[in-house]
Structure 1
């Protein structure tokens, strides 16, 4: 009986299995998009199982399923579609575009592309629509005022210059604040000055370690990832042409003194030279008119209205197998200085995507840029041009001929100060040129092994070549810029090559469904980085033949120098993104990285991130609120030492080595740990709001520590400090009006940050631009990073030094305490011990805000961007020099000249020149009129749209700052070109700040002035 029952049970089970198998069948079909075009690569999965497949080139698919099961169709940019399996064997699907998902998908810091709603950390984004309103000349400048927590420092309006970027706070005391930049998968070593914005599709910004941990020791300052436009597989060729023509001019000029302090002859026709030289008038005031004759304004002599123009053209298209985009941009910019050749840049781009099969695809990006710049006005010589234009008394004719040889621009016209030369002669005769070639390339191969497993490999390349030439002809009259070259001539030629190669391998478990409510994306990656550079320089004096620019023309022994680097880095990392029902969200990162930049004993560093998010409105319905997400994230990222820091270094002069820094086998990268708390909210179907609170600590600051003489070396680079930083960020986007004919969008970004030196394992020190005696930024434990130290001239009698008799002093009309007897001596603050060295300023602003608005009415579009910085001090070194030489208009206010000489303070840091850097700018403005369809008339047969526009940049500035512009940096540029130019301005850089730090050191020292531009543009699409 038991055998019969067992046999019967077995038969029943087999029949049941057969019955189930008889219901399983093969489902086939074709998947189309909303236009009816076949969609390749659509993921199809049987819900609740791991059974899945993908559609082929023609959108066809086949999958086994049983009656009653559900097929789930997913594709990036399309709405997820579900179909239940019934009696039919063919299920065709036409998917619908999910515009919101298409716009919001981001990839920076995640395992794979994710919606912004599914991110558990903050990520800034600038979309193409905002970039196209007013195309910036470089990608970095395009971020200005558009993302909270982003600070842009530009070296003025100099064409072709790199822009320095700071995300959130300053994290490094010595190696700068520049973030990691990635363009189409290429990790950049050079700057962004070569990248034109017309090619950019979107920019993603991970602003700190919490969002950028995935990128390891290069990411503590954040990550900017740029994605350029690519072709669409719509079987249509798309052609775009855009041209812009405009003019640029300086935003303001200095109001200089037109009177002086010297005695004149009785009839006022000349200076009184009875004693053999000019004498100061007895009253000590600068209220005497200059002798009768022409009064020159040298700012009008050196500045001009420059013309610039751009031409951009792109061709894109493709089908389901191949997509392409080719573009070309030509930029010409004359700048605003006379006798300077224009800046020219030619950019070429090719983006190519190929589906080799339904499982294998190749993505290629190739970019080439060639630029030429007249380097007569660069970071080293701006002081040499603008300084004499502002300092020279307005009584000399710079256009007069030289009596020595009849050449124009009399170089030694300044009879009362022969040390100040005519800069027009320098511009006309000292020929400096800089050429740059840049190649960026990336090729990536994707192999989808299964619907849930994709393998990826990529190789990227960044090559930069800079060549520089400085030529001073034989017979050159002036001893400016180089006294050694006077009459005998000079040639310098430099060449820099930098080559970065990166190889990456990824395995992506891309998101598969364990259950319909659970989703996981897991990526394992390996990255190998190799960077090589070499720099060669040859120069010499005493040319044999005039007009020959060959190094063979040098008769003296030429000076030769060179430098070479090789940096290798290997990284292993894993990232996991997990969510339950799209409402409980988790992301985790772990990275291990080893680099030749780290000491041999500390070769490997570890980084991680963990972040959580909860979409409250998925559980709780809040009236008027469509989305409320709470986020918390903590991550770590690093800052690498520069190449020379861990090695023993020597200064080699005339073949004799001198010890400089001793090596450090224990040198580690600085490490930032960042806590980020935030929320995102969409409400009233019109508004989206984001707020972030960020707390960061950067440990193991890399500092140059002085050593005793017994060490045999003057210093060693060590990990020796910490910075604590706090940031608040907010942004609001609003669709105020949205209808068929009228729309009005508004975007507001706001941030407030501060950073403090919480630990310093070396004595407090001064740093920043200038000589050792004139540097004013103090690094001291307990102080904000960015405070200025110097002599504080008091403005209240209550601040008089102890023991002073108040009746002997008075507050003058300029607001300073001076001696009552003469009114000439300003009083400096002093403490009980006689110290006269105090905090006199702080670069940290109270807040920054950007407001952009776009108003559309039918075919008319008006866009404006306002940029507001409140607070933050600037040191006006230009004003200090003008006080010294009696050229600033303040000198003519009726107070004694010697009073202003006292404030000048023998060029030492003085509170008199610390100014509030607050401003409000109309940063960008555009007005466009678009013709399309029937409004184009007969040309509609071959032109899709025609767009005409007015474009303005930096049109208005509201500020109390007395200099050219409150957006100021010192004269350092963060690009390779600085390796190729001689330091002719005397502005050194403290060894603790290699290359300087334009984001921190707000010193106005005769910079290249900021410009405003007016232009017209036309854009055609075919």
Structure 2
């Protein structure tokens, strides 16, 4: 009897133990299920120090490839584990890391890099320094400043934005270059042009081949310390351009467009019909030939009688339409970042058949291999056309008589308004500037 009671008690204890063990295991499974459950949805805002929203800020989950970008109000929504860490970054702001800690609503205030002495400045072939460690004279222009006013090339974008840097256009035609002087001229006979470095490599091309929308930052080394890095090539100063790269997060597509027009400020002051007649009447005394410049042609005498007063400049000038389109794509993970951009620029001159156009294609990719190795590819390709280099109708237009009509009596264009004058073959109506095949001078 005693053995039977002990056996029953043992079986009862075993059943209770199994029941407790089963409940404990089930509780652990439930706890594990809750711990590794689906990610929580985190909503938040990215703000500046003054409370203004930061648009297009990158919000990525650290250690994963997931990421989003904030909208124009600085708002974002991302799915992440309750114990994950969010990495928030934006151009011109210091990167911050924020732990989720089961929070579903997060507000992040980013600190501007312009207000910190820890700002990184590119000073050499892949060499970067903090601003507080730099003893030379350096001025930096960031992407935000470059985007304030649409510009055709980087030289125009830097005008008035860098102290000690003088920039002057070398021509008024579309696609004209620029002359840049850093702290004035240094040589009477040699070159005074600064050295241009793009992504760590010396660049000897035209400013027009660089798309402003592809540039992330410009650093200008103004004093003699630049020669310690670049040698004698940097004796006139160095302009270091850093282009945009890929970013961590989901693919982001951007499209920027700017349009405008250019026109003349005013016409050259010229004689009207009566003034020109009086001037030529005084000049014709002493003329020895009927075809001398001082003699009136029959068309001028007819125009005087009819009260003709032609403004030839009005037939030449036009409004020059300018447009710039930029389409870009960027994204990536902690290991791989990529960027792709294509842009089209068209600039018309104020004179017909004179224009400049450019198509740019840029691609970048960077790949981390381990903790210390990174490889990448950065390619920039540009195709530009400059039309009408040989078109210069200004002297011809200003030399035409205001006493001659633009059109003939039958309404046709008066192609040779100087009939009867010794310059009849070289003074043509500006309205003839419509035949591209006849006068177009194209340069690629």
Asked if TM exceeds 0.5, the reply is: yes
Residue 231 of structure 1 aligns with which residue? 246
Distance in 2 (CA, whole Å) between partners of 1:39 and 1:112 is 29
Residue 325 of structure 1 aligns with which residue? 339
1:184 to partner: Cα distance:
1.7
Shift in alpha-carbon separation, 1:188–1:291, aligned structure 2, 3 A: farther
The runs of 5 or more residues in structure 1 that have no matched partner are 1-32, 41-58, 60-75, 81-95, 265-269, 282-288, 436-1022
Aligned with residue 220 of structure 1, among 203, 214, 235: 235
Shift in alpha-carbon separation, 1:39–1:141, aligned structure 2, 3 A: farther
More helix by share: 2
Aligned with residue 387 of structure 1, among 380, 392, 395: 395
Distance in 1 (CA, whole Å) between partners of 2:293 and 2:111 is 81
Give the secondary-structure state (helix, strand or coil) at the position aligned to 1:215. Answer: helix
Q: Would the aligned equivalents of 1:135 and 1:198 in 2 still touch at CA under 8 Å?
A: no
Aligned with residue 37 of structure 1, among 52, 62, 65: 62
Number of positions where the alignment pairs a residue of Structure 1 with one of Structure 2: 334
Q: Would the aligned equivalents of 2:143 and 2:215 in 1 still touch at CA under 8 Å?
A: yes
Residue 140 of structure 1 aligns with which residue? 155
1:313 to partner: Cα distance:
0.8
Residue 482 of structure 1 aligns with which residue? none
Residue 169 of structure 1 aligns with which residue? 184
1:292 to partner: Cα distance:
4.2
Residue 315 of structure 2 aligns with which residue? 301
TM-score (normalizing by structure 1): 0.30
Aligned with residue 431 of structure 1, among 429, 440, 443: 440
Deviations 1:566-589 (A, max 9, x none): xxxxxxxxxxxxxxxxxxxxxxxx
1:163 to partner: Cα distance:
1.7
Residue 88 of structure 2 aligns with which residue? none
Give the secondary-structure state (helix, strand or coil) at the position aligned to 1:214. Answer: helix
Deviations 1:876-898 (A, max 9, x none): xxxxxxxxxxxxxxxxxxxxxxx
Deviations 1:664-695 (A, max 9, x none): xxxxxxxxxxxxxxxxxxxxxxxxxxxxxxxx
Structure 1 stretches of 4+ moved >6 Å: 270-275, 278-281
Structure with the greater alpha carbon radius of gyration: 2
1:195 to partner: Cα distance:
1.1
Structure 1 residues 167-566: aligned runs within 5 Å: 167-233=182-248, 235-258=249-272, 259-260=275-276, 261-263=279-281, 276=290, 292-338=306-352, 340=353, 342-374=355-387, 376=388, 378=389, 381=390, 384-397=392-405, 409-410=415-416, 413=419, 415=421, 417-418=423-424, 420-422=426-428, 424=430, 425=432, 428=435, 429-435=438-444
Residue 728 of structure 1 aligns with which residue? none
Deviations 1:102-146 (A, max 9, x none): 982101248832222221011111111111111211111111011
TM-score (normalizing by structure 2): 0.65
1:223 to partner: Cα distance:
0.9
Q: Would the aligned equivalents of 1:163 and 1:193 in 2 still touch at CA under 8 Å?
A: no
Deviations 1:456-477 (A, max 9, x none): xxxxxxxxxxxxxxxxxxxxxx
Q: Would the aligned equivalents of 2:154 and 2:207 in 1 still touch at CA under 8 Å?
A: yes
Aligned with residue 116 of structure 1, among 123, 131, 141: 131
Distance in 1 (CA, whole Å) between partners of 2:117 and 2:407 is 61
Shift in alpha-carbon separation, 1:298–1:216, aligned structure 2, 3 A: farther
Structure 1 residues 938-1017: aligned runs within 5 Å: none
Q: Would the aligned equivalents of 1:231 and 1:351 in 2 still touch at CA under 8 Å?
A: yes
1:172 to partner: Cα distance:
2.5
Distance in 2 (CA, whole Å) between partners of 1:423 and 1:153 is 33
Distance in 1 (CA, whole Å) between partners of 2:407 and 2:243 is 48
Deviations 1:393-433 (A, max 9, x none): 323446669xxxx9973386472545752273577422311
Distance in 1 (CA, whole Å) between partners of 2:184 and 2:350 is 33
Shift in alpha-carbon separation, 1:110–1:124, aligned structure 2, 3 A: farther
Shift in alpha-carbon separation, 1:363–1:212, aligned structure 2, 3 A: farther
Deviations 1:335-386 (A, max 9, x none): 2112x06432111111211112212101321111112221x2x3xx46x422
